[in-house]
Amino acid sequence: MATPRTARVADVRLASATARVLALVCAEPLGFIGGQYIIIDSGRVLPSGKAAKRAYSILSSDADQRRFEIAVKRIPDGPVSGYLHDAEPGAEIVFSGPWGKLVPPDDATGATVIVATDTGITAALGLVQAERFAALRSTTTLIWLSSGDEFLPDAEVRARIPAGLGDLELGALPAIGHPERVPHARAVLARTLARRPAARVLCTGDGQINYALLDDFVAAGIPGTRDSVESFFHMPKKSGPS
């Protein structure tokens, strides 16, 4: 069992009608690599009797290990998102982590394509800002496909892109549940790989899309495993953060 850790809420701000960005401060270095996440314990209990916990990707650069940011989308009747949307500066947050394997190997080379869907943009932003990712930035294409649910504004995403990133593409995605949602994402990746052959593909966000894309790029000869995807929702068992 992971040892609980604590962080203090240093600052909060609304990023959109549904998203709040929290700056958290730890007394000791967090020890995270960009692309990883923490699991926050709200202290509340679900009807099932289990503790209400949720994973949140670290949105900010790993250059600062004591002060870091997460973006929280308010989910109707969501106990953890509600708890974090109510948190004020000075509040103490209990969490575990960092967790996650969506990080490049130290010796990685070659072009990278990152496909983020909806809230998966938070993990993607942490990843491209990582110090370990610096050598890969100039040959990296980051694609964010959003169904327009007012999470992070485009301007906020662009402001967090580090200098020297190869390319950033922002595109629309059919709503969750739409029959063309997965085929649309697959077509976007296919077009991208046809233009820019890649050594690796990383996917974050919708698990249904992630695993469809994983099948596609592995079939195209690009190495990939479950560690190549980070699913935020529609998760297969043991897929990563919720």
**CATH (residue range 112-233):** 3.40.50.80
Domain spans of the chain, in order of start:
5-99, 112-233
Of 68, 70, 71, nearest to 29 by C-alpha is 68
Domain 5-99 in CATH 3.10.400.10? The answer is no
Identical topology for domains 5-99 and 112-233 = no
Reported pTM: 0.93
Give me the tens of pLDDT residue by residue for the chain, a chain 242 residues long: 678 999 999 999 999 999 999 999 999 999 999 999 999 999 999 999 999 999 999 999 999 999 999 999 999 889 999 999 999 999 999 999 999 999 877 788 999 999 999 999 999 999 999 999 999 999 999 999 999 767 999 999 999 999 999 999 999 999 999 999 999 999 999 999 999 999 999 999 999 999 999 999 999 999 999 999 999 998 776 434 43
**C-alpha–C-alpha distance, residues 23 and 190, integer Å:** 37
Q: Which amino acid is at 33?
A: I
